[in-house]
A = this chain, B = another copy of it.
Amino acid sequence: MNRPSGRSNDQLREVTITRNFTCHAEGSVLVTFGNTKVICTASVEAGVPRFLRGQGQGWITAEYGMLPRSTGSRMGREAARGKQGGRTVEIQRLIGRSLRAAVDLTALGENSITIDCDVIQADGGTRTASITGACVALADAISYMNAEGMIEGNPLKQMTAAVSVGVYEGEAVLDLDYPEDSNAETDMNVIMTEAGGFIEVQGTAEGEPYSRAELDSMLALAEKGIYELIDLQKAALAV
């Protein structure tokens, strides 16, 4: 056992999911994975983007940001630089794609839900915390739409969560924090549903290529972590 965090290889950080964190959004969740803290809101709007009009289906999109001092040294504010960075763009596309795959867009009617994931404190795993929290905010937004009579039934097909896994000093480990992540040989993000289907697998060799055996070990850890996260999501929604 050699993780800087002192956790066992298959151990998540402490995870909390706080609903109704802010008061305006139809879904608003503060999710924490250890020291990583993200505000996830889901905003409902009637209507869909132009390219979908008249097709009888809804749309889900996501935006992601980090407060400038969510990190150890201050990052430039993207709004001031006039441009979202490549990493931001890549992450918000991942979040949107994942949540769309979790939802029956036709059952959503011609309505849109915008997910905003804003990192207020970062310690690794911000994209997986974002997806995990956003799915709960999405569930709340859907409840709002049911209550308002905008839709009937539940377009969210299954709960969906995300976790990172990696190879750290030769061993597969679950839910890397920043010190682990910045020294990992491989970094993989896995997004799965409660029934065990994959929505996205994205694994990158940071240094040496990884073997098929390492890939299998990481996927096994991810599956374990995802099920625990989905239990936490359900517990939060049951309150």
Contact = CB atoms under 8 A, between A and B. Distances in A.
A170 B223 CA distance: 23
Contacts of A88: 79
Contacts of A208: 197
Interface string A39-81: 1010101000000000000000001010111111110011110
A92 B206 CA distance: 16
Nearest to A204: B200
A84 interface: yes
Interface string A17-51: 00000111100100000010101010101000000
Interface stretch (A113-121, A127-135, A146-154): A113-121
Say how many copies of this protein the assembly contains.
6
Interface in A202-230: 202-212, 215, 219
* A interface: dominant SS: mixed
A208 B195 CA distance: 11
Interface of A: 22-25, 28, 35, 37, 39, 41, 43, 45, 63, 65, 67-74, 77-80, 82-84, 86-90, 92-93, 97, 101, 114, 116, 118, 120-122, 158, 188, 192-193, 195-212, 215, 219
